Amino acid sequence: MRKNNRLFATLAIVAGFGFFIPKNLDIPATATASRDSRNLYSFDMRPTSRAPGARGRGNIDLAWSPFGLSVTADGYLVYDMVLQFEGLLPANRFGPDIGYVAWIASPRLDRIEKLGVIDQSNELSARLNSWNKFMILVTAERNPLEAATRGGPVLLRGMSPSGLVESFQSHELFTDVPD
Amino acid sequence: MKRSHLLLTFFICSPTAAFAQDTSLSWQMPMMSGGRMMMLPGMRGYVPPMEPFLPGRNLDPTTLPTAMPSQVIRMNTGDTLLLRAGFVSRTINGRTFAMYGFNNQYPGPMIRVSQGSEIVVDFENDIDMPTSIHWHGLRHDNRYDGVPGVTQEAIAPGENFVYHVRFPDAGIYWYHPHSREDIQQELGLYGNMLADSPNLDYFNPVNREEFLILDDILLENGEIAPFGKEHGNYSLMGRFGNVMLVNGEPDYSLDVAPGEVVRFYITNVSNARMFNLSFGAAAIKVVGGDIGRFEREQWSESVVIAPAERYVVEVLFDRSGEYQLLNRFQTIDHFLGQFYGQTDTLGSINSVGETPAATYHDSFEQLRTNSEVISEIDGFRRHFSREPDHELQLSIRVGELPQGMIQFMSIDTAYYAPAEWTNSMPMMNWVSNTANTEWVLRDPATGRENMDIGWTANTGDVLKIRFHNDPESFHPMSHPIHLHGQRFLVVERNGVPNPNLVWKETVLVPVGATVDVLVDITNPGTWMIHCHIAEHLEAGMMTSIQVQATD
C-alpha cells in the first residue's frame, strides 16, 4: 500500500506539472546503470517521461570523524553525498529563467529540502546528517536560485539504498500464525 | 493449509530443533525489543541447542564479598599487583547477583603508571572457568599477551600466572579475559589501565579526570540471562544487553562544579554494543584515541565508540544544572521496515556549587595541533597510498539455523545498515550459536580462512592491511577488528583518506566498507587479529600474524 502511495504521489507530481516541459523533447534513450547487489553506498536516479534521456547516480560515503564513523548526537549517520547527472538538456532550452534543482525528500514526501541548483558541472555535493531513508528528486524550476519549495516537474528521481528496507507486516510469514 | 502453517509444522518437526529440558536453569525466550520485532512463526518454543549455563547460579550472593567500585592503583616499574578474579556480589537495579570481579571491584582496579613502566601482575584464577588476562592495546612481550592456545595455556581454576606488563606508549588501555569472553566480560571481568606521558603538557589542563567504562548486561525476568555452556550463543549479532552500565552502575552520576573542564577516558567493554555518547548539549573536544593523541584536536557533539575502542575527550560544563549522559542511535524495525530513534539514559553529570578557582575556559576553546604526533606519523606517509600487502574479507557462514530464520533473513537482505547499534533481531540472534554460525576472516590471495591464514612479518616492516566487510554475505555486520601487540593508523576508508590520524589497534569496519590500516610492526611474536564482538570471536572470527625479530 505504501508503495502505491509513493507511486501515486510521484505520478501526481509529474502529471501536475506536465505543462511545464515540452512533450516532444528529442532526448535519446540511454540505459541506466543497474544497482549492484547490496550496494550500500550508491544509488541510481531514473528519469521520468519528461526527461527520458537523463540519468543520475548518487554516491554516499560515510563522513569521517575522529571516531571513524560520523554520527550526530541524535544518532543519524552522517554521509557525504555526491550526485552526478548525465543527459539533462540545457535548462535554458526551456526558458531563460529555468534551472534544475535537486531536492531530498522522505519516501512519504512529507519532508522535502532543497539540496541546490545543478550547474554546468552536472554534479552536486551535500552533507546529510538527518536522513535515514530518502529520495532524491530533480525538478525544473523557475528562478532556481530563489526557489525555496519544489514546484516544477520531476525529471529524475532516486531512492537511497536504505529505501530497500521493506515492511514485513503483511508478509505471509507473519500472518495467521498461532503463537 | 496456508504456506505459513506448513512452515510452522516443518519447524516443529525439524531435526535441528531443540527444546528446553526440564532443568532448574532453562532458556527463556528473549524479549522482543519494545515489541517492535514480531516473533517469527515456528520460533516460539525454540531454544538454543545447548545447555544453559550461568556461573555462580548455585551460590548465595549474600555469602559473597560485596563488590566495591573500582580503585585507582598507581604503580611504578617493578611493583607487583596481586590480581584475583573471583565471585562477588553485585546489585543492579535492586537485584543482587553472583558475578565476577577483579579484587572484589567493579570494574577491576584502574592501573595507573608512567609511560615506559613495567609492572608485575600475579594473577590468581578463583572463578569456576579457565581464564587468562589480555592486556589490550599494549605493545609488550608476546608471552604475556594472555591468549590461551597461542601465548599460554589457559589458567585453570585455582591456579595462577605471573604477567610482566610493559607500557611503551602513553595511552588508555584495558585488561580482560581472553577465554570465553562472552561470559567472563559480561559478568564483570574488565578494568582500565592508563599510561601517563612524562610530558606534563601532553593533554590540556583540566579540573579533573574521570574514567567511563561503558558496558551493558542482559537481564531477563530479573535474572542474568544464561549463556551457552558448551559453546556461545548470540553468534549472529553478539550479546547485546538491555541494561546499560557506566563503571558497572546502571545510574552513573557525577557531580562537577559549574565551569569545570573534565577529561574523560572512555572505554567500551561491552560484548557487542556500539555507543553514541553525548553529554547533554555540552561541546566535546576529542583529544586522544586508543594509543595517544590525535594529530589535531576536534570538536564533536557525541562520541562514537565500538567494542574495545577507547577515546579521550574533554568536556566543559559551563552552566549549572544536569547534563544527561545519553546513548542515542537510529536503528531498523525489520518488521515495519522503518528506522526509529532510540535513547538510552546512562546517567547524569550534575553541575552544582561554586565555580572553581582554576578555570580552563581559554585552553578549552583552543584546538591544539599536536606537531609531535604529526612528525612521527610523517615517517609513515609514504606508505599511505601504496597497494595493500594483505587483505582480509569479513564474512559469515551459517549452518543449520531454524528455517524461519533462513526464510526471513533470505528476504530481509536488500539493505544492511553500515553499523549495528542494538539487537534488532533478538530471537534469531539468541538461537544462533557457534555450532551453526561461523564468522570468517578470509585472505582472498590464498583462500585461507581464520587460523589457517598464516601471515608472517618481520619487525621493522610496515604492513598495509585492507579489511573488506563483504556486504554480500548472509548476514553482514559491522566488526571492530583488533590487532594484538602492534599499533596501526587507519589511513583510508572506501578510498577516502582519513584527515586526522591517531595510533590505534582496534578499528570499526562498517558493512560494505573497505578500511585500510598501516601497521607498524615492532613487536616479535604471534599476535591475534580478531573481531572484538565477543560472540564473533567465539564463532571463529580470528587469525594471527607471526612476527620474527630482526636485528
* A38 Ramachandran zone, left/alpha/beta (phi>0; psi -120 to 50): left
Q: What is the pLDDT of residue B38?
A: 57
> What pLDDT digit, counting tens, does each position of B59-72 carry?
999 999 999 999 99
> What pLDDT digit, counting tens, does each position of B417-465 carry?
999 999 877 888 888 889 889 999 999 999 999 999 999 999 999 999 9
Average pLDDT of span B520-532: 98
Q: Which pLDDT band holds residue B414 (cuts at 50, 70, 90)?
A: confident
Q: Where are the domains of chain B?
A: 64-196, 208-369, 381-399+436-548
Q: Which pLDDT band holds residue A166 (cuts at 50, 70, 90)?
A: confident
Q: Which three cell numbers stand for residue B345?
A: 539514559
| Shortest alpha-carbon distance between residue A51 and chain B (Å) | 28
Average pLDDT of span B199-206: 96
State the average pLDDT for chain B. Answer: 91
Provide CATH code, domain B381-399+436-548: 2.60.40.420
Pick among B266, B415, B469, B478 to test the A interface (most A CBs inside 10 A): B415
One CATH from 3.40.50.150, 3.30.10.20, 2.60.40.420, 2.60.40.10 for B64-196: 2.60.40.420
| Shortest alpha-carbon distance between residue A48 and chain B (Å) | 24
Average pLDDT of span B356-370: 95
Q: What is the pLDDT of residue A169?
A: 62
Q: Is residue A177 part of a domain?
A: no
Q: Is residue A22 part of a domain?
A: yes
A73: nearest CB among B301, B496, B511: B301
Is a pLDDT exceeding 50 seen at residue A132? yes
Q: Is residue A145 part of a domain?
A: yes
| Shortest alpha-carbon distance between residue B497 and chain A (Å) | 9
Q: Is residue A172 part of a domain?
A: no
Position with higher pLDDT, A24 vs B488? B488
Q: What is the pLDDT of residue B343?
A: 97
Residue contact A172–B3, C-beta within 8 A: yes
Q: Which pLDDT band holds residue A16 (cuts at 50, 70, 90)?
A: very low
Q: Three-state DSSP class for B227?
A: strand
For residue A12, give the amino acid letter: A
Q: How far apart are the first and last CA of chain A?
A: 26
Q: Which fold has domain B208-369?
A: Immunoglobulin-like (2.60.40)
Pick among A6, A177, A179 to test the B interface (most B CBs inside 10 A): A177
Q: Which domain holds residue A57?
A: 2-26+41-163
What is the total count of domains within chain A? 1
Burial class (CB within 10 angstroms; exposed 0-12, middle 13-18, buried 19+) of B244: buried
Question: Can you spell out the DSSP letters for B336-384?
Answer: TTEEEEEEEEEEEEEE-SPPPSS--HHHHHPPPB-HHHHHHHHTTGGGT
> What pLDDT digit, counting tens, does each position of B82-138 carry?
999 999 999 999 999 999 999 999 999 999 999 999 999 999 999 999 999 999 999
* B45 Ramachandran zone, left/alpha/beta (phi>0; psi -120 to 50): left
Q: How far is CA B139 from the centre of its chain?
A: 19
Q: Which pLDDT band holds residue B49 (cuts at 50, 70, 90)?
A: confident
Topology match between the domains B208-369 and B381-399+436-548? yes
Q: Is B413 on the interface with A (CB under 8 A)?
A: yes
Q: What residues of chain A, 33 to 92, have a C-beta less than 8 Å from chain B?
A: 37-41, 61-62, 64-77
Q: What is the pLDDT of residue B436?
A: 87
Q: What is the pLDDT of residue A178?
A: 45
Average pLDDT of span B409-416: 74
> What pLDDT digit, counting tens, does each position of B270-282 carry?
999 999 999 999 9
Distant-in-sequence, close-in-space partners of B485: CB < 8 Å, separation ≥ 6: B138, B139, B140, B142, B145, B523, B525, B527, B547
Q: Which three cell numbers stand for residue A29?
A: 534513450
**Closest Cα in chain B to A71:** B304
Q: Which residue from A38, A117, A134 is spatially nearest to A77, judged by alpha carbons? A: A134
Q: What is the pLDDT of residue B52?
A: 94
Lowest mean pLDDT among A3-7, A83-87, B10-14, B37-41: B10-14
Average pLDDT of span B50-54: 93
Q: What is the largest CA-CA distance in chain A?
A: 65
Question: Are the beta carbons of B184 and B53 closer than 8 angstroms?
Answer: no
Average pLDDT of span B28-45: 63
Is a pLDDT exceeding 60 seen at residue B283? yes
Q: Is A165 on the interface with B (CB under 8 A)?
A: yes
Beta bridge partners, B46, equal none
ipTM of the complex: 0.90
Q: Is B496 on the interface with A (CB under 8 A)?
A: yes
- Percentage of residues of chain A with pLDDT beyond 90: 63
Q: What is the pLDDT of residue B427?
A: 81
Sign, CA dihedral B345-B346-B352-B357, equals negative
Q: Is residue A52 part of a domain?
A: yes
Is a pLDDT exceeding 70 seen at residue B9? no
Question: Are the beta carbons of B400 and A151 closer than 8 angstroms?
Answer: no
Distant-in-sequence, close-in-space partners of B312: CB < 8 Å, separation ≥ 6: B172, B203, B263, B264, B265, B266, B286, B287, B288, B289, B293
Q: What is the pLDDT of residue B6?
A: 33
Q: What is the largest CA-CA distance in chain B?
A: 78
B472: nearest CB among A38, A41, A61: A38
Is a pLDDT exceeding 80 seen at residue B150? yes
Measured CA distances, B482 to B212, B281, B331, B517, B537 (Å): 20, 32, 25, 11, 11
Q: What is the pLDDT of residue A29?
A: 30
Is a pLDDT exceeding 90 seen at residue A86? yes
Q: What is the pLDDT of residue B39?
A: 60
Distant-in-sequence, close-in-space partners of A16: CB < 8 Å, separation ≥ 6: A153
Q: What residues of chain B, 249 to 288, have a C-beta less than 8 Å from chain A?
A: 276, 278, 281, 286
Q: What is the pLDDT of residue A165?
A: 83
Q: Is residue A50 part of a domain?
A: yes
Q: Is residue A35 part of a domain?
A: no
Q: Is residue A174 part of a domain?
A: no
Position with higher pLDDT, B224 vs A4? B224
Average pLDDT of span B325-330: 98
Q: Which pLDDT band holds residue B48 (cuts at 50, 70, 90)?
A: confident
Q: What is the pLDDT of residue B372?
A: 97
Distant-in-sequence, close-in-space partners of B490: CB < 8 Å, separation ≥ 6: A68, B498, B501, B504, B507, B515, B516, B517
Is a pLDDT exceeding 90 seen at residue B19? no
Rg value, chain A, Cα: 18
A166: nearest CB among B39, B337, B502: B337
